[in-house]
Amino acid sequence: MPHENQANSKRRIAIVTGGSRGLGRNTVVSLAGRGVDVILTYHSNKAEAESAVAEIEALGAAAVAIQLDTGNTASFDAFVADVRQALTGLGRTDFDYLVNNAGTSHHASIAETTEEDFDGLVNVHLKGVFFLTQKLLPVMADGGRIINLSSGLARFSIPGSSAYAAMKGAIEVFTRYLAKELGPRRITANTVAPGAIMTDFSGGVVRDNPVVNKMVSDMTALGRPGVADDIGPMIASLLSDDNRWVNGQRIEVSGGALL
Ligand SMILES: NC(=O)c1ccc[n+]([C@@H]2O[C@H](COP(=O)([O-])OP(=O)(O)OC[C@H]3O[C@@H](n4cnc5c(N)ncnc54)[C@H](OP(=O)(O)O)[C@@H]3O)[C@@H](O)[C@H]2O)c1
């Protein structure tokens, strides 16, 4: 029986927000290694986006980088127009996979979290993901896949992460609703929840601060913090047909944090 969304041999196309650095970068390179073409977005660092495109092209896949602030819903119609144009260049009118990955960190106690910071987190981590997905759904092929990035912090509680973690918890609920509502289009939706990973996230604190690095190692069954290579290939695998029946799930990818 042919796979439901891969009954023909056309090349797949993924849109990955924040694909220029960190986990998104590792994801787009992993996808390229599997023969998937990529539209990646960046926010402020165009040079990193261009170097990601070059890395993907060296692997024999096609890549287009588009600037996007996922916290600015007013820019989404123009972004979708850019996506349609990029798809034309890639010889398609639709795309297959959406990875809502872009995000920024926030650390403050509940007492010290400002309304401004909270609104900024809502815009990037919740409202932006909700409405970007809404706007892109008409361009997504039936049988496509959506992955939203959450965090281990939505399951366990580490003081100073309440606002950020609350956004990620909301994304996990939203993802289940996506899976339910998009079932008739054979589109799957899942959440990937990384543990602490050594990227530039949070100012690179997990990577660069020995105290934090040891704390994460001590709370992880596999005895170290994650690296981007622990996440990107997993996301690429989850998008592949091997995982076509995984739907509406939260999958934690943390090396066994706080079990
Ligand atoms: N690293 C961790 O420990 C960890 C753990 C759990 C979950 N996560 C989640 O994983 C995702 C990726 O994290 P990461 O570690 O890869 O972060 P990162 O290394 O800091 O990279 C962030 C990426 O998102 C983009 N970005 C930031 N703000 C944006 C905005 N307002 N609009 C559009 N793009 C924006 C950045 O683009 P520019 O460089 O152009 O600004 C960059 O490509 C996030 O959703 C994060 O919450 C991370």
pTM assigned to the model: 0.97
Residue 4 pLDDT greater than 70, yes or no: no
User: What pLDDT shows up at residue 150?
Assistant: 98
- Mean per-residue pLDDT of the chain: 96
42, 97, 164, 177: the active-site residue: 164
**Confidence class for position 206, pLDDT limits 50, 70, 90:** very high
User: What pLDDT shows up at residue 224?
Assistant: 98
Q: Quote the ligand 1 centre to 24 CA distance (angstroms).
A: 7
Mutation test of ligand 1: which of 68, 167, 198, 199 has the most ligand atoms closer than 8 Å to its C-beta?
199
pLDDT digits (tens, 9 = 90+) for 102-134: 999 999 999 999 999 999 999 999 999 999 999
User: What pLDDT shows up at residue 2?
Assistant: 42
User: What pLDDT shows up at residue 5?
Assistant: 45
| Residues lining ligand 1, Cβ inside 6 A | 17-18, 20-24, 42-45, 48, 68-71, 101-104, 124, 149, 151, 194, 196-197, 199-201, 206
What mean pLDDT do residues 64-79 have? Answer: 98
Q: Work out which ligand 1 atom sits closest to the CA atom of 201.
A: 20
Q: Quote the ligand 1 centre to 23 CA distance (angstroms).
A: 7
5-19, 150-164, 182-196: range with lowest mean pLDDT: 5-19
Q: Is 177 a catalytic residue?
A: no
CA-proximal residue: ligand 1, atom 1 (nearest): 197
Q: CA separation (Å) from 131 to 76, 125, 230?
A: 8, 11, 29
CA-proximal residue: ligand 1, atom 28 (nearest): 103
**Confidence class for position 9, pLDDT limits 50, 70, 90:** low
Q: Quote the ligand 1 centre to 120 CA distance (angstroms).
A: 14
Triad 70, 32, 137: Cα angle to 5°: 40
What is the set of domains in the chain, with CATH numbers?
Answer: 13-194+231-253 (3.40.50.720), 202-228 (no CATH)
What mean pLDDT do residues 53-67 have? Answer: 98
User: What pLDDT shows up at residue 7?
Assistant: 45
User: What pLDDT shows up at residue 10?
Assistant: 83
pLDDT digits (tens, 9 = 90+) for 214-251: 999 999 999 999 999 999 999 999 999 999 999 999 99
